[in-house]
Amino acid sequence: MNNRHLYILSALLFLFGLGLFLYKVVFLGFPVTPGQETNVWEIEVKVNFIASDRPVKVYLYVPRNLRNFSIINENFISRGYGTSINTSDGNRQVVWSIRRANGLQTLYYRAIVEKLESKQSATALKEVKTEPYSYEGADLEAATAILQEARQKSADTISLVLQLIELVKNYETDDNVNLLLRGKPEQENMLETIINILSLETIPARLAHGLKVNEQFGKVQPVSWLEVYIDNQWVTIDPLTSQIGQTGDQLLLWLGTGRIVNLVGGQDLHVDINVTQTGLESISAASTREKILHPVIWKYSLNSLPLDTQRVYSVLLSVPVGVLILVLLRNLIGIKTFGTFMPILIALAFRETQLISGLVLFSVLVAAGLTIRFYLEKLKLLLVPRLAAVLIIVIILMLMLSIISNQLGIESGLSVALFPMVIITMTIERMSIVWEELGAHVAIYQGLGSLLAASIAFLVMNFSLVHHLVNVFPELLFMILAFTLIFGRYSGYRLLELRRFKSLAGK
């Protein structure tokens, strides 16, 4: 295989991993550094009422995932009530029900929502039509007069709606508006009147209700606004400020008329809504955002695995980083070690014992085991029984070292039990063979090289930024693989060999 093929393969792997990394950072908002937090809003709806020992149903409109808000977590808190979710006509409603209830009842809905920086319009999924409202007699004449006056002062649908809002707001000086309002100048009644008048022009409009989620937090009340269907999309118009387009702090709760809570089988209904700004780990927010925007991708991502499995991979995903470090140390620098991946396994053992304690305990065990291994050589044992004997001896040494450390009050000595016994056994066996074949100097040199490589790999693998990146962005493994393939073709001098071949370089 020529170098061009290798370079193309490495470049494709690198670009693939880099593309996924940038997509998750730029579009999904995954944090590049650990410990980042995202500002989210905690919404609590408290429902109180009195039940009279009969069946009860409570209907509460709750938010749904929208273009400007995503629900990160929500809880429905009740005692003894059944809970179900209904979704229809663009609304999402939780229904609490119980066969018998008596006395004061309290229900809670809590949600954590995140603001999204999306300016995308709410495009309708199907054609929207409306039927003219059934005004009759004087009401029809009044509505027609109001519509005619607004039409004369407007140039398009948006300006027509704005003129209607102004006319209805000035109801005190307009008899036609007063007639339609029936003496009820509440905002919701005004908006319903505007919707009915627009229907005479076959312009679809609807009433929307929600919460203002901004710097003001604490106890809040739902607000209402108007949505008009123009050019195949719903356009939001604030009736108080006449602002066109939904602002980023309007969290939609429900569409249409009615109240946020409807109660069947109770009395003395009270509803309290509290909004509080808080902080949430950016990873959780981004993972939820990925689940909402791209459920198929999320389904096949690391975040979809069970938590126990995720904890296992949080360790395994750092191994390729240590392997790349080992490749650099062996092929570029020229450090000699026992085996190819044994230093990485030793580095994994250091995760539990920490570096200094791990180096001391590992050295003590290997030194003691190596002494006994030389004694076993005199017994002329076969390979498998000899390895089995060394393994048993290693376990005995680990037990003795733990007991002695416990008696001396050295807590770090107790962690020796976390060392993989097979790794220590194979290290002792490999070191004894090198000692016999190449001498003590080479064996000690490779042993120190293995500990040095394991220490460097441990420090890199456990660096908080590295651990965060490989767990949040496992696609970076493609980039690590690309670098490993490139170094696989390196056949030049190792750095530690430059002094050895210095005389050749001068000729």
The DSSP annotation for 425-443 comes to HHHHHHHHHHHHHH-HHHH
- Higher-confidence position of 279 and 484: 484
Query: How many other β-carbons are positioned within 10 Å of the β-carbon of residue 127?
Result: 8
pLDDT score at 121: 46
* Cβ(232)–Cβ(258) below 8 Å: no
Q: Is 265 left (phi over 0), alpha (psi -120 to 50) or beta?
A: left
- Statement: residue 120 has pLDDT above 70: no
Query: What residues are paired with 42 via a beta bridge?
Result: 112, 276
pLDDT tens per residue, range 25-48: 888 778 888 877 777 888 999 999
**2 has a pLDDT exceeding 80:** no
Range name among 131-140, 393-402, 488-497 with the lowest pLDDT average: 488-497
CB atoms within 10 A of CB 498: 11
pLDDT for 412 equals 57
What is the number of other CB atoms lying within 10 angstroms of the CB of residue 287? 20
Angle ∠(270,273,277) on CA atoms, nearest 5: 165
Question: With contact defined as beta carbons under 8 Å apart, do 201 and 135 qualify?
Answer: no
Question: DSSP state, 498?
Answer: T
What is the per-residue pLDDT across 287-336, written as a single tens digit (0 to 9) for each? 777 776 677 777 878 877 776 777 888 888 888 999 999 988 888 888 88
Q: What are phi and psi of 338, to 5 degrees?
A: -80, 115
Tokens found for residue 271: 């509803």
Q: Residue 61: is it exposed, middle or buried by C-beta count within 10 angstroms (0-12/13-18/19+)? A: buried
**What does the DSSP 8-state code read for residue 244?**
B
Name the residue with higher pLDDT: 339 or 497.
339
State how far the Cα of 434 lies from the Cα of 442, in Å rounded to an integer. 7
Q: Which of the residue ranges 39-48, 82-91, 402-411, 484-493 would you say has the lowest mean pLDDT?
A: 402-411
SS3 string, 271-289, reads: EEEEEEEEEEEHHHHHHHH
Helix, strand, coil share (%) of the chain residues, nearest 5: 50, 25, 25
Paired tokens of 385: 């029984």
Report how far apart, in Å, the C-alpha atoms of 427 and of each of 319, 356, 370, 454 are. Answer: 19, 19, 9, 13
Q: pTM for the full model?
A: 0.62
